[in-house]
Amino acid sequence: MSLKKQYLIANWKMELLPKEERALLEKLPLVLKKKKKSLKVIVCPSFVSLVSATQIKKYSSAIFDVGAQDCHWEERGAYTGEISAKALVSLGCRYVLIGHSERRVHNNEDETVLRNKLQAAFNARLQPIFCIGETRDDRTNGKTLSRLRQQLSSAFSNCTMKRNQLICIAYEPVWSIGSGTPLNADDLTKEIQFIKEWLTTHLSSHPHVVLYGGSVDERSVSNYLSPKTGIDGLLVGSASQSVKRLSKIVSLMSLS
């Protein structure tokens, strides 16, 4: 069961200093002034700016939610440099990215680690945004759908969730992220349909949304939001890290 609400996830990665993130957060009332009610905006700054983000959300007129870029699978322990899902919730976070391809590649996060993180988020009542996607070799060799199936099956096998738990999947072709070469919107239909059919078949009691991410910017937003793609929203990286570009994306999504 797919939802009609649209999602915009702004992933600021490790691109901005805390003072730059705060400046952008303080401009969100202006950026989101003309946002349509059905557009849910989730800002994912670096860990050091989560407190600023939740405070600004609390006291400003801007309507947005705060997400983290990762979490650990344990509630507490001797894990230097990590942060638990429970700690994120205590800060006011409601969402967390899990399985982003940059962490799969640079941090060697395998399917077991990601499944444990997913379960930790569910246990803490933190909404995960689970990222999946194929490599260039997968696509060249016609293995895109089998890769997506494997990632979904591994992540949600034996995963315990409350009834009606929202499932949020971000499809991001690994080869496209940060390349400046987004996947053509016309080529997305098959992948998005496959993901939604898998969710409907295997997690039928849970509502779901499927987002797209991969070099999305203000020039390509309108194409991705065409009804024929079936996309429920966008995961945006570099294009969400400036007031001007983020404002343009919000405006375009509010018109769709």
Tell me the C-alpha distance between 124 and 97, whole Å. 14
Query: Residues, the chain, total?
Result: 256
> Tokens standing for 181?
């070469």
At residue 74, φ and ψ (nearest 5 deg) are: -100, 155
What does each C-alpha distance from 107 to 63, 103, 104, 120, 218 come to in angstroms?
33, 5, 6, 18, 29
Do the Cβ atoms of 234 and 252 come closer than 8 Å? no
Q: Are 119 and 81 in contact (CB under 8 A)?
A: no
Tell me the chain's radius of gyration from C-alpha atoms.
17
Structure tokens belonging to residue 65: 């939610």
Q: Is 197 a catalytic residue?
A: no
Q: Which of 21, 102, 109, 172 is catalytic?
A: 172
Q: Which residues pair with 9 in a beta bridge?
A: 42, 235
Asked if 158 and 111 count as a contact pair (C-beta separation under 8 A), the reply is: no
| Cβ–Cβ under 8 Å, residues 109 and 154 | no
At 166, phi and psi to the nearest 5?
-70, 135
DSSP three-state, residue 253: helix
Catalytic residue among 21, 72, 100, 191: 100
Give the separation between CA 12 and CA 184, rounded to whole angstroms: 23
Active-site residue flag, 21: no
Catalytic residues: 100, 172
